[in-house]
Amino acid sequence: MNDTVLLQLKTTVERAVRPVVASRFRKRQMREELLGHLTASYEEDYSKLGDESAALASARRRFGDPRELSAELQATVSRWDRVRLAFQKVTWEPDDSLARSAVKHLILGIATYAIILFELAVVLWIGPKRGFGLGFALQVAFATGIFVPLFSYALCYLADGIRRAVYADGKLALTRANVRQVIPFLVASLMFLPLLAFMVHWLIAGDVAAGVRHMRLGCLLAPLAPVLFTLMAGEIARQQRYEKEWASLMIDEGQVSI
């Protein structure tokens, strides 16, 4: 099978999948499953007909009307996947600008404080039985509200910084200029685990000394962070390349990418 035929098969699949409202993960599953079936149909028809154009036309007929298939696929999207889609829209994505990323983390912060209200209710309910009071409940609330958005933003910022520095169109591109750009992010990532250990114990326990002690353990594990963030950057780059490849396919007018 040549690249031209494969492109035509992918375009047929995308006509059915793109209008579906679902998470990226679910749509990827749909694409892989449908492309596998369509490719098998094409190869079967080609072995009988011996002509690429005729085999492609036959495989498309057997595939069916993409609009009808879109409706069938939409019916398979679970409620859980709709929740995952909503979360996807308010979390970080590789192409987000700094301003957009900041707004999304603001939303994350608001959601975090909604969780905090629940935490407060639970702590105040069980507190008297365990010796906890309002002070501890407020301390947990403060720690959660500060820590969760900050941790999320730092995680995304460092991984995306490495990706932008050394990946181009989803492919690793190491040059002297790229290496110079990525070094600050790798150095900053060395501080991630020590600061994480310190903040968790300081904010929750309210004990600076305990935070410093655990920070030492974070320093021992610090060399693992650049490796972790580099692996994350590679996965983000591959995902971005995949999304761009399918989004670039020309499908019928009137179909909107979700």
Residues 119 and 233 in one domain: yes
Residues 220 and 103 in one domain: yes
* pLDDT band at residue 255 using 50, 70 and 90 as cut-offs: very low
Residues 114 and 234 in one domain: yes
Q: What is the pLDDT of residue 232?
A: 86
Interval 150-182: pLDDT, tens: 777 787 788 888 888 888 766 777 777 888 888
- Compare 179 and 36 and report the one with higher pLDDT: 36
The SS3 assignment for 159 reads: helix
Of 41-50, 91-100, 172-181, least confident by mean pLDDT is 91-100
Report residue 75 as tokens: 């019916």
**What is the DSSP-derived secondary structure letter of residue 91?**
S
Of 102-106, 217-221, 224-228, least confident by mean pLDDT is 102-106
Tell which of 86, 117, 138 closes a domain. Answer: 86
Tell which of 86, 106, 130 closes a domain. Answer: 86
The pLDDT mean for the chain works out to 79
Residues 104 and 80 in one domain: no
* pLDDT band at residue 95 using 50, 70 and 90 as cut-offs: low
Q: How far apart are CA 167 and CA 249, in angstroms?
A: 22
Whether residue 256 is contained in a domain is answered as no
Give the count of alpha carbons within 13 A of 248, CB side only: 8
Number of domains within the chain? 2
Residues 196 and 235 in one domain: yes
Span 106-128, mean pLDDT?
68
Residues 23 and 129 in one domain: no
Residue 17's contacts (CB-CB under 8 Å, 6 or more residues apart) are 27, 30, 31, 34, 70, 73
Domain that holds residue 109: 94-244
Question: Rounded to two decimals, what is the model's pTM?
Answer: 0.68
